[in-house]
């Protein structure tokens, strides 16, 4: 059973999400919160597999709540999916930087939302290559953001650095394999090793590290 926590300040949104999630035999809602602080407290008590987190909430917002959940060692198994009104919401990158496993727009089809919950619960990143490219492109043009190399960047081999940069561009393992003329298994191994060395929770966070470290070629 995959347990889900709902965090949104709109009652109707939470009611709709609960009805959808609980219509599935393998999913269960373990709590609802109307603000970020409540989401953090409930997450610590219930230890859900997945949190559906709205961005704009009163008091502690979804970004800060995500940061607190991800930083809590007792919630290492909890993944956060950020819900946003616009695909390129200005807060999306910050959500990913603070450890969200991905994001969905609120007009996502029900079947896609259910698929996303299951995907993230399995440890995958909910960040498609096309969306990754758009997110990185959007924030790469902002002059206020300067590269901040990851402290473990030097631990990567040259090939691993190259692979992290390609992940940051939004390439899938198959596309990385084609670009580097290696097998998909080899590409997957390079990605996995880089994630371990950089301490990335998932592929979404690897994208953030790639951008922050200046490994994404614009």
Q: Measuring CA to CA, how many Å separate 1 from each of 18, 95, 119?
A: 15, 26, 13
Q: What is the pLDDT of residue 150?
A: 75
Q: What is the pLDDT of residue 137?
A: 62
Give alpha helix (H) positions in the chain.
Answer: 11-21, 36-46, 62-71, 92-97, 110-121, 129-140, 158-168, 173-180, 184-198, 203-212
Q: What is the pLDDT of residue 216?
A: 76
Q: What is the mean pLDDT of each run of 10 residues along the chain (218 residues)?
A: 96 94 96 95 96 91 92 91 73 76 84 90 68 61 60 89 88 89 93 90 80 74
Give me the torsion for CA of 120, 124, 130, 133, rounded to 10°.
110
């Amino acid at each position: 059973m995959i347990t889900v926590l709902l965090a949104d300040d709109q009652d109707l949104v939470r009611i709709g999400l609960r009805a959808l999630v609980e219509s599935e035999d393998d999913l269960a809602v373990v709590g609802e919160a109307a603000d970020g602080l409540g989401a953090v407290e409930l997450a610590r008590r219930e230890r859900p597999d997945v949190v559906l987190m709205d961005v704009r909430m009163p008091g502690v917002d979804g970004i800060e709540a995500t940061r607190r959940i991800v930083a809590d060692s007792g919630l290492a198994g909890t993944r956060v999916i950020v819900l946003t009104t616009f695909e390129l919401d200005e807060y999306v990158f910050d959500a990913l930087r603070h450890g969200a496993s991905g994001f969905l727009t609120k007009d996502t089809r029900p079947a896609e939302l259910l698929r996303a919950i299951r995907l993230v619960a399995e440890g995958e990143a909910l960040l498609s290559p096309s969306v990754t490219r758009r997110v990185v492109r959007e924030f790469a043009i902002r002059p206020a953001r300067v590269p901040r190399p990851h402290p473990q960047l030097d631990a990567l081999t040259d090939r691993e650095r190259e692979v992290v940069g390609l992940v940051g561009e939004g390439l899938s393992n198959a596309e990385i394999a084609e670009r580097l003329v290696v097998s998909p298994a080899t590409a997957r191994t390079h990605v996995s090793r880089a994630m371990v060395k950089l301490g990335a929770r998932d592929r979404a966070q690897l994208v953030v590290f790639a951008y922050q470290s200046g490994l994404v070629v614009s």
